Amino acid sequence: MINTLNKRLRVLSTSAALSLMLLAAPQAFAVTPKDTLVIGLAFDDIITLDPGQAFEFSAGEVGGNSYDRLVRLDINDTSKITPDLAESWTVSDDGLTYTFKIKSGPKFASGNPITAEDVAYSFERSVMIDGPPAFILNQFGLKKDTVKQKAVAKDANTFVLTVDQSYAPSFVLNCLTATVAAVVDKKVVMEHVKDNDYGNAWLKTNFAGSGPYKVREWRANEVVVMERNDNYWGEKAKLARVIYRHMKESAAQRLALENNDIDVARNLEPNDIDAVTKKGTTVTSAPKGSVFYFSLNQKNPNLKKPEVVEAMKYLVDYDAIGATLIKGVGEIHQTFLPKGILGSIDDKPYKLDVAKAKELLAKAGLKDGFTVTMDVRNTQPTTGIAESIQQTFAQAGIKMEIIPGDGKQTLTKYRARTHDIYIGLWGVDYWDPNSNAETFTSNPNNADDGTSKTLAWRNAWDIPELTKETKSGFVERDSAKRAAIYADLQKKVLATGPFVLVYQQTEVAGVGKGVKNFKLGPTFDTNYVFSVSKD
């Protein structure tokens, strides 16, 4: 794959050094150019770069560096929201109307001025496309038949959002930091609309944003190239371009980092982290709002049995996983809210207990076990954890077949509800407890054609009472009462939910010499690279 990438990659700039680096064989790479940041990253999860549809970790990172929103999360103080395209905002006394004043002067990368009309159009297209992240806007009453009336440009610099009921303002504003609320260039997008698709097909691989970087190219499982947006209204990016090279293997990333073939290694496993640290390489880390779990499709009659659900929570060797597979890159965590978010709890009631699991399986009428499959993205530590679970399941008589695939394959199957067990990471879409509660504990319509495709829905978990309780959380304005609601939801999922939470991610990156100000953010779309420079 790497050789194919190197042979096919076209010249990306006038820099002879960059061209040489990208076209040479891996072992002959030149030192990365001073004006370019080269990142080794496994990004086989990218399905589209359209911010109205993208809902994957890697696509979120690209969007976070290339598309602006009305507001952003303050990565230095996650309790705060900071202005982005909006210079200010107000909330009506009844809590139903949010009025945003748009900054005067900012332009898109195309040179077109950014207006409230672009904001309104961006909200409209995200709802009408109805991709995986649309529920973030849907929950405010922004539906296909109402969005044009509820997301309105009052004038060139005033955008008005009307919600369907009074919510905690912090909840609404946090939701607007999500990629689905990114602002696109209406004029450019409309030039590429086909069959009323709101430019969705074109934006899959193209760009219409206003952020510090503009996306030049994405080739699946090969490369993503971003170039500095010289029309950016704020402080310009320090470097001329950022290149993400698709590198799945930790060892390959480590070697490339040691050879100065890349500037940053993003998927290092514990052994490789130790190795680069011993050689003096800087390693930076940050706790993420991402939790690693596996889920049990309730369409499977065996996995639907409450005793089986509980048994599987006792068939994970949490201690061994924590000491080896996620050492330095995660911390055992068994609740769906990551630490640091309002209402999170740190209960850890489960440990490996094969005898207990066998007892529960016998109560379920499955004393001899059963067979099941698990869809696994073929990257580490996911594969290693899946193999560990396969071994502990076997001790209780459960024969689990691992079905490997890349991120796109496993996610597509998961979203279609055709899996038995899915294993992977889930990251918060915005820094509010409802982000995870809405997806783990809400399923308004469990039918296959249900429009709110949460994780509960993906696993066919029909929970009307929990869905009602989840709704009570985002309308409660008192922070202490909100925290109590989310603590209760976490305890109920721990006890009966078809989700086995394993750990909270600590993202780690090996940073090469000369790279300055590379910092990992708290969410997958706040890994900002526009402030990075190089000596």
Per residue in 463-482, pLDDT (tens digit) is 999 999 999 998 888 889 99
Both tokens assigned to 193:
């609309």
**Packed helices 479-496 and 433-440: angle between N→C axes, nearest 10 degrees:** 30
The answer, yes or no, to whether the previous bond of 381 is cis (omega within 30 of 0) is yes
Q: How far apart are CA 346 and CA 408, in angstroms?
A: 31
Dist CA 276 CA 254 (whole Å): 7
Token pair for 422: 């899915």
Q: How far is CA 172 from CA 60, 328, 382, 433, 452, in A?
A: 19, 34, 33, 12, 18
3-state secondary structure 245-274: EECCCHHHHHHHHHCCCCCEECCCCHHHHH
Taking the C-alpha atoms of residue 238 and residue 532, their distance in angstroms, rounded to an integer, is 6
User: Which overall architecture, per CATH, does domain 287-507 show?
Assistant: Roll (3.10)
Between helix 354-363 and helix 306-313 the angle, nearest 10°, is: 170
Residue in this structure with the two tokens 């090279």, named with its chain if needed? 245
CB 507 within 8 A of CB 283: no
Give the span between the Cα atoms of 25 and 33, in whole angstroms. 17
Single out the residue of 221, 396, 216 nearest to residue 311, CA to CA. 396
SS3 percent helix, strand, coil of the chain, rounded to 5, is 35, 20, 45
Q: What is the DSSP secondary structure assignment for residue 294, as one 8-state letter? A: E
Cβ(5)–Cβ(262) below 8 Å: no
- List Cβ neighbours of 195 (8 Å cut-off, separation of 6 or more): none
Q: Where are the domains of the chain?
A: 1-48+211-281+512-535, 68-205, 287-507
Per-residue pLDDT of 15-59, as tens digits, reads 433 443 444 334 444 589 999 999 999 999 999 999 999 999 999
Angle at 371 between CA 367 and CA 374, to 5 degrees: 130
Supply the Cα-derived Rg of the chain in whole angstroms: 23
3-class SS at 234?
coil
Distance (Å) of CA 483 to CA 59, 395, 410, 438: 30, 39, 33, 14
Name the amino acid, one letter, at 119.
V
Distance between CA 308 and CA 302 in Å, rounded?
7
The CA distances from residue 362 to 259, 302, 350, 357, 396, in Å, are 55, 12, 19, 9, 10
Distance between CA atoms of residues 51 and 61, nearest Å: 11
Question: CB burial class (10 A; 0-12, 13-18, 19+) of residue 354?
Answer: middle
Rounded Cα gap, residues 336 and 493, in angstroms? 8
Domain 1-48+211-281+512-535, CATH class in plain words:
alpha beta
| Positions in the chain short of pLDDT 70 | 1-30
Indicate the DSSP class of residue 113.
B
Residue 155 bridge partners (DSSP) = 158
Q: What six digits make up the tokens of 314?
A: 């006792």
**DSSP structural state of residue 421:** E
**Rounded to whole angstroms, how far apart are CA atoms 99 and 90?**
5
Contact 30, 235 (CB under 8 A): no
* Token digits of residue 403: 């079905």
Which of 310, 319, 315 lies closest to 396 in space, CA to CA? 315
User: Residue 331: what are its φ and ψ, rounded to 5°?
Assistant: -135, 130
Q: Can you give the pLDDT at residue 359?
A: 98
The whole-angstrom separation of Cα 62 and Cα 46 is: 10
Other CB atoms within a 10 A radius of the CB of residue 154 amount to 12
| DSSP character at residue 201 | H
Same fold, 1-48+211-281+512-535 and 68-205: no
pLDDT reported for residue 19: 42
Q: So what CATH class is 68-205? A: alpha beta
